[in-house]
Amino acid sequence: MDTEAQPTERDRSSSPSDAEEISDTGGPEGRSRLSLVSWAAEWLPGGRITLSLLVFLMFLLLLSNFVLQPFQIPSGSMERGLRIGDRVLVNKLAYRFGAEPRRGDVVVFDGTGYFGDADYIKRVVGVGGDHVVCCDKEGRIEVNGRSVDESTFLYPGDSPSTVPFDVVVPQGTLFVLGDHRSDSSDSRDHLGSPGGGMIPVDDVIGRADWIVWPVGHFTRIHGPGAYARVPSVPEAKPPRAVGAHG
């Protein structure tokens, strides 16, 4: 019995020249792209090395404009977590596609018209609809009636605030504070200004996610759990008891 594998109809009709012709389908476009690359490499000083460098720089530019952008920390307003000279990577997609800033996030925003003509980095303490008060009987900030223990990230020795305030954050805005409260210009300093010290969400550039320099300080910036128990709407306080008279 003949057990030798018989060539299929496709095998019999194929030839090396046919295979080459099939793989070359759409060839003019491919050859055009290769010709363009070759022309650019010949035209540029340094040839393909220069071309590769330009492509890489263009990639970095697109990345910086639309995805990640590095920022340098200019002051001590976010110590102890962020030190002067630290470089942070800001995620510019964090609040796209329907996502919103959350309490505890460290954000970079454009302060033009509110804080000054510069970019600022602060921590979100209140979001739209929140009732933020300083302070409770123990000196802690209250958000929606819930006291927040900020001791894990505040600058050592700082109180939550030496400036009393009682604000309701308008929708579409944020109430922001620096972690080094005694050395931070933030929402508290602009309570009497137009906008009441609130930052429009639309002016937020992104969320600071990583400290990338210096190498010894490389770490991910986590949102603290201190705000996790804050209710999304202000808690109704129980009515004050009225003594009965006999």
Nearest to 148 by CA among 157, 139, 234, 183: 139
Q: How many domains is the chain partitioned into structurally?
A: 2
Q: Are residues 166 and 135 in the same domain?
A: yes
pTM above 0.75, yes or no: no
Q: What is the pLDDT of residues 142-177, one digit of tens each?
A: 999 999 999 999 999 999 999 999 999 999 999 999
Q: Tokens 């363009």 identify what position?
A: 36
Domain that holds residue 41: 28-66
Q: Are residues 198 and 133 in the same domain?
A: yes
CA distance 229 to 231: 6
CB atoms within 10 A of CB 50: 14
Confidence tier at 8 by pLDDT (50, 70, 90):
very low
44-65 average pLDDT score: 58
CA distance 131 to 120: 23
pLDDT recorded at residue 241:
46
Q: Which residues contact 77 (CB under 8 A, 6 or more apart)?
A: 121, 122, 178, 179, 180, 183, 184, 185, 186
Residue 111 belongs to domain with CATH number: 2.10.109.10
Task: Choose between 124 and 47: higher pLDDT.
Answer: 124
Contact 39, 48 (CB under 8 A): no
**8 falls within a domain:** no
Annotated catalytic residues are: 77
Give the N- to C-terminal CA distance of the chain in Å, as an integer.
117
